[in-house]
């Protein structure tokens, strides 16, 4: 039986004061939720604050990006070991905003994925199609390719060390959620695809849905057999919303 996981992706939002208030609300709200796992992925400068506030709680933390290099003259980049220094468990890799706005290719995402696995961080690897790709009926090909590139690099055993987030690009920050059936269909496809490599590993794999998950649609999404939780953008910045989504995961079968 897979445990549900809910991770907040704060993106480039926050301040020391706002984070404090948000995290206090989240900690109070999820205290005692034992049936699911929770996390937040925050901007780098706030890792120390988040570590200090979440240490010893049932909310883990992580980053939204990392460098594929261990160290060196890479101005502005952050190495995997630096994330470990701040107690990170998770790192988001291949988010569509990184792919589109920062020109990260499948190959760069694969190198970052490898670096995360080597550092014992859990990569939350994002896949998803654009609206144009969905409308041209190539969703499955696009996602299969995104998966293939990382697993070719990292090897099949990485399936036990990763989390996948299916994030249809057209549903991110748009208020347009994939219907539970649409999301379930792609999640089932991802699991079947990976089951061709290793059935047991694929059964244990946690596949999150991301794209306009809110308190009012989380329960329905999380009730689908292959949806193991959510990667939450906007709603993770509002304590009550995020806690309600965590509650839906905690109560889901
Ligand atoms: P929204 O929940 O704001 O649509 O963002 C989803 C997302 O990109 C999470 O990584």
Whose CA is closest to 4, among 183, 245, 192? 245
pLDDT digits (tens, 9 = 90+) for 13-44: 999 999 999 999 999 999 999 999 999 999 99
What is this structure's pTM? 0.97
Under the banding of pLDDT at 50, 70 and 90, the label for residue 195 is very high
3-state secondary structure of 139: helix
Report which protein residue has its CA nearest ligand 1's atom 2.
233
Enumerate the active-site residues.
95, 167
Ligand 1 centroid to residue 72 C-alpha, Å:
32
pLDDT digits (tens, 9 = 90+) for 91-113: 999 999 999 999 999 999 999 99
Under the banding of pLDDT at 50, 70 and 90, the label for residue 233 is very high
pLDDT digits (tens, 9 = 90+) for 31-88: 999 999 999 999 999 999 999 999 999 999 999 999 999 999 999 999 999 999 999 9
Q: What is the CATH number of the domain that holds 70?
A: 3.20.20.70
Residue 119 structural domain: 4-251
Residue 178 near ligand 1, beta carbon < 6 Å: no
Nearest atom within ligand 1 for CA of residue 95: 10
Q: How far apart are CA 106 and CA 127, in angstroms?
A: 10
∠ CA 170-249-3, rounded to 5°: 105
Distances (CA, A) of 230 to 137, 185, 202, 207: 24, 16, 18, 8
Nearest atom within ligand 1 for CA of residue 11: 10
* Average pLDDT of the chain, as a whole number: 96
Ligand 1 centroid to residue 53 C-alpha, Å:
24
Residue 210 near ligand 1, beta carbon < 6 Å: yes
Domain tally, the chain? 1
Residue 6 near ligand 1, beta carbon < 6 Å: no
């Amino acid at each position: 039986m897979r445990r549900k996981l809910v991770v907040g992706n704060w993106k480039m939002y926050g301040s020391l004061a706002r984070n404090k208030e948000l995290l206090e609300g989240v900690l109070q709200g999820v205290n005692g939720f034992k049936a699911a796992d929770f996390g937040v992925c925050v901007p780098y400068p706030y890792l120390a604050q988040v570590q200090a506030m979440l240490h010893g709680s049932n909310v883990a933390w992580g980053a939204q990006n990392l460098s594929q290099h261990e160290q060196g003259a890479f101005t502005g980049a952050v190495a995997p070991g630096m994330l470990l220094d701040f107690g990170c468990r998770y790192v988001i890799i291949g988010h569509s905003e990184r792919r589109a706005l920062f020109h990260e290719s499948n190959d760069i995402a694969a190198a970052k994925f490898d670096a995360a696995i080597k550092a014992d961080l859990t990569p939350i690897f994002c896949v998803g199609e654009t609206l144009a790709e969905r409308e041209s009926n190539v969703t499955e090909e696009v996602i299969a390719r995104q998966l293939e590139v990382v697993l070719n690099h990292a090897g099949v055993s990485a399936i036990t060390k990763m989390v996948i987030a299916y994030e249809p690009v057209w549903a991110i920050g748009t208020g347009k959620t994939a219907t539970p059936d649409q999301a379930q269909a792609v999640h089932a496809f991802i699991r079947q695809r990976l089951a061709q490599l290793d059935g047991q590993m694929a059964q244990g794999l946690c596949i999150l849905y991301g794209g306009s998950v809110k308190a009012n649609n989380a329960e329905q999404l999380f009730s689908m057999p292959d949806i193991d939780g959510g990667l939450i953008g906007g709603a993770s910045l509002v304590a009550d919303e995020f806690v309600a989504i965590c509650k839906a995961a905690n109560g889901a079968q």
